[in-house]
Structure formats: C-alpha cells, structure tokens
Amino acid sequence: MDKDYHDLLIKQQYRLYKDHAAVKLCHWMKESMIHERHCYKQDFYGIQSHRCLQMTPAINECSHQCTFCWRVQGRDFEVKDWAEPKEMLDELIAQQRLLISGFKGDPRCSKQMFEEASNPNQVAISLAGEPITYPYLSDFIKECHSRGMTTFMVTNGTYPDQLEALDELPRQLYVTVAAPNEQVYKQVCRPKIGDGWERLMRTLEIFPSLETRTVIRHTLVKDLNYGWIDDYAKLDKIGDPVLIEPKGYVFVGGSRERLHITNMPSFEEIKEFSRALGDRVGMSLIKERADSRVVLLGPEGIETDVRKLYGL
C-alpha cells in the first residue's frame, strides 16, 4: 500500500492492519451508542448494531469498480504478507476499541453500552474490497465462530471457485446482484475481468447448495439498473436464496464523483420494485426500513433472528 493511499484511508477513519485488513466504525454503530438508533440489520436479523465489527480482510483488491460504490477505487495492490486469522481478529478488535474510546466519556452512552461495544459479537465481513480473496478466510470465519461471534459476509459473486472451496461458511452470506443482464452489469459494475458475468452466474448456480442462510442483495440505482423485474426474478430463481434484499443506492462517498443525487430511488420506488419482484419469486415483504431504503423479501413466517436460526 502506498503512503498516499494509507494516509487517505486513515483520514477517512479506517484503521489498518498489515495493509490489507481494515476496520471502520459504521454510522449506525455510533447512532446506536449515543442515540439508541440502530441499523436495519438489527431489525431484520437480530444482530446488535453497537456490538458489530465492520471489517475487511482484503481492502487491497476488488474485481469490480461499481459506479454506486462509496469506496476508494483504482488503488488495488498485491499483498505479500497476509495476516494470520487470530492475530488479525485480535488486532481489529483492539483498533475498534480505540475508535470508540471517546464514547466512554459521553453522557449519552451508558456504561453498559460502552462495555458491550468494546466486546463485539458480530463480524460484518464487508467493509471494502472483496473478502473472499483473503487466503485464510475459512480459518478466519472459524475463529470468529469459536468465540461465539456471528458472521455476515458480502461477496460480489465473481469468485465462485473460492466460494465453493470454503469449508466454513459465514452465518449469513450475501451476493450482490446489481444488474439484471450482462449489458447493464458491464455499465454499472464495471468489471476489471472479462468473464465477470459468467462467474456471477456460476455463483448463483452454486448458491442453493451452500449450507448457510443466503441472501441476494439488489443495490438499485435509478436510471441505471432499476427496473427489469422479470430479469432480476430469473436470476433470483437460479440463486434460490433464503431471503432477498432490494436496497436503494445512497449518494455518499466516492459515488458522488460518478452519479447524481437524482440516482437515489425513493423508498416507495424500492417497495414498488420489491412487491413486483416478490410476486414473481413467491416471496412477501416481511421487513422494511425507510431510513435505509431497504426491504426484506422472504417466505411468509420465516424466522429472521440469526441466533434462533443457528442456535447461537
């Protein structure tokens, strides 16, 4: 990692370990600690926002340069010294404790809330980059589970062989499907590899065989990939996920250099899309959060508390 990139990430409140691993406080973690307002994932899945470790084991690489991505792009590099899973987890927890240290003296944050936040029990493997490129990912997930931590991971779907080879899966596995067809995929996801669409299709094909809770996320950008309900439904039927998350694009970060605030779909548009998609794939709208512009589709009556579902 070059110094300019390192300094930029630190300025953006990332904290790094061995160049490739990073942690950053989520907006909703801060809101939870001082205003008791939590992330939609707490509503949808039962995780606790203030106890979530938002991290990545591989900030160094991603096969996409999505137009809607808020992250720094164009700075990929080769890692020569990968951190071991246990030391990486320990160090990122230590870094997060430093990031939240200022909350200890804030009268809006209770002592109990601060102590709980200092001991995360949920790991969101999704901060930046493509996590599946970390060579010890299975061992890292095992380490998290051995500590009683739940794990959510987001992949862009272009590493099906690595995904299929994992011998430990996260408790919840997302694949982002941000295009209804190959033409839109190339325009919106801007893959750096020639066979990205084919790889994504392969991931969707193996998705039903993965023994964990699977979620397809549709990140929807108005005037770019919003619409095409029938095409999205066909892809969802291939992936056959437990749940589907249609989520609206938000005009933040680096995406502001490529898109406009008018590309943000309204919550009503997200709900309209979700109802139409649900009708086609046999799912219902079971959860929603207007402030995050997100809807959860699933079979009626499904248990969405991750701890009950997995006995944790």
Lowest pLDDT segment from 194-203, 236-245, 247-256, 280-289:
247-256
Scanning the structure block, which residue is given the tokens 């933040």? 252
Q: Could you tell me the two tokens for 272?
A: 């309209």
**What is residue 73's DSSP assignment?**
-
| Domain residue limits, the chain | 3-310
pLDDT value for 303:
60
pLDDT value for 311:
46
What is the DSSP track for 93-109? HHHHHHHTGGGGG-TTS
pLDDT value for 269:
97
Say yes or no to pLDDT of 66 above 70.
yes
Mean pLDDT of the chain: 91
Q: Could you tell me the two tokens for 312?
A: 């944790």
3-state SS, residue 213:
strand
The fold adopted by the segment(s) 3-310 is TIM Barrel (3.20.20)
Say yes or no to pLDDT of 312 above 50.
no
User: What's the rounded mean pLDDT across residues 255-261?
Assistant: 85
| First vs last C-alpha separation in the chain | 38
From the list 246, 156, 232, 157, the residue with the least C-alpha distance to 201 is 157
**What is residue 17's DSSP assignment?**
E
